[in-house]
Structure 1
Amino acid sequence: MGRSSRADAALHREQIVTATAQLLRERGSAGISVQDVMGAAGLSHGGFYKHFASKDELLGIATAAAFQSVLAQITDLVEREDAWDAFVTEYLSVEHRDALGEGCANTALAAESARAEPDAPLRIAYSAGLARMIEFLVGLQDLPVDQLEARRRAVVDLSTLVGALTMARATGKAPLSKEILDTVRNELTTRRKS
């Protein structure tokens, strides 16, 4: 295989993973087929098995990519003086609520992971991504606390954020959805200041 062919194959694989990560967050694994994924990537259905052994393998890789994408979007917040407030404000925004395909993998894929077999690639990737997200939140701690307390707070805060975003998405664009976002955002940001 020539360099051009290898480069094309790597590009196609990346396109498939990116498309799957988006579709997985939008529709869930039951709502996407190999044909859907390949079509979204702009490729023919027949080329799928040149890149992946199975749909399950792809779902695990796409789950890891979804977490990586989200972490890449928020990493720059760590340098900000108001990192916690900026993160919470962005996370609990109407824009994030409505961005199913690009939004939080924790929220979009929790039920997928819960339904997956214990050794399924999706569940393994979800658990690893969740652990990385907790570590990210440990790094956002703005109060002097020991490592164990910082981790405890990160777990509670992430659970609160994911729960609020999940309920806001579940209620669509109804007034209750915005009320959930605003109430939890205000609670999490003012609690840190008291």
Structure 2
Amino acid sequence: MKARTCFVQVWISNDKGEKACYSLRPLPSDELGASAAGFFLAKLSDEAPVYAVRVEVDGAVSCNCPQFKTAGACKHAEALVASSVLPVGLLFVLKSRNRLLNHAEAEILRVTEAAVEERQLHDHDCDWRSDRIADFSELVDRLNARDEAQREEIRQLEADLDEARQPKKRGRPRKVAA
């Protein structure tokens, strides 16, 4: 694409219906300061005053012309706002969206904190359950050991009972040859 030059002119009429033509050029970023946007308006006439019209982040518009300094409003600022050259409407939209983003960030923070708290409770419950499982496992091991000892005792008693139930052989004792 070829480099192009573009000139923007604005015709502004005053309260008396007199029209004046102004050229527009953006304020350089080093001259914007804290402003969101701004333009130089140079009157195209023999007497060429140049005014700087700015819009602040909060949407407030200002101009360095004498009328604005005394009345707080001027045709230059009103013309640039009315023609949407100054993004005042956009700033209000952005401000509204910024509020929504702030609300969303607060909600995300709240949910995150709740999730962390829930995770801590879950971890605590898991630790408690693990401890309970270990306690029950130890109890089961002790009961199994006791049951095994009782089974062995039962086997011994059954063996003794079987031996006691066996009929004893009666008869004469045999002589063993010497």
TM-score, L = length of structure 1: 0.22
Considering Cα pairs closer than 8 Å and 6+ residues apart, tell me whether 1 or 2 has the greater RCO.
Answer: 1
Kindly indicate which of the two structures has a greater share of residues assigned to helix.
1
Larger Rg: 2
TM-score (norm 2): 0.23
Which one has the bigger strand percentage? 2
